[in-house]
């Protein structure tokens, strides 16, 4: 049952906001890949693009591997692209929240803002893997 609901939400998401947000992240990634120095920003943008096209059933988790370079990268990303992409998420969330069916989609849009603003040191995993990390079974 959960799989069917996830599929339905992802299809509605794709039609209402996923495609436009995906294109925004791909454009940001292409621009970032123009210079060799900014390729890590482009890769982060492409990683988020893959998440925003089909977000339900997946989660963003902290890798705990981010160090000083990730922090610096996050600040630069926020100033150059993160803020503008976060505004796009807020605008699409407002548009989605107009209908009752769109409220879960709007909530998902808002949940994407932290990874949009600070993508370094984050990883996208399935929701079941995220639950397993949060609640490991006793052996």
Q: pLDDT (tens digit, 9 = 90+) per residue, 11-49?
A: 988 988 889 889 989 998 999 899 898 899 899 899 889
Q: CA–CA separation, 41 vs 73, rounded Å?
A: 8
- pLDDT tens digit sequence for 55-111: 888 888 888 777 888 889 899 989 988 898 899 889 989 998 998 888 888 988 898
Angle at 129 between CA 126 and CA 103, to 5 degrees: 45
Quote the pTM value: 0.79
């Amino acid at each position: 049952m959960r799989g069917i609901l996830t599929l339905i939400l992802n299809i509605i998401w794709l039609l209402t906001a996923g495609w436009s947000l995906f294109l925004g992240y791909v454009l940001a990634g292409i621009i970032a890949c123009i210079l060799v120095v900014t390729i890590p920003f482009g890769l982060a943008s492409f990683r988020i693009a893959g998440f925003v096209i089909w977000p339900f059933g997946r989660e963003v988790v902290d890798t705990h591997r981010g160090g000083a370079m990730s922090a610096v990268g996050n600040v630069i990303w926020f100033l150059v692209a993160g803020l503008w992409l976060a505004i796009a998420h807020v605008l699409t969330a407002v548009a989605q929240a107009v209908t009752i069916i769109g409220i879960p989609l709007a909530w998902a849009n808002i949940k994407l803002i932290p990874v949009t603003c600070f993508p370094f040191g984050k990883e996208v995993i399935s929701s079941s893997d995220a639950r397993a990390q949060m609640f490991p079974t006793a052996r």
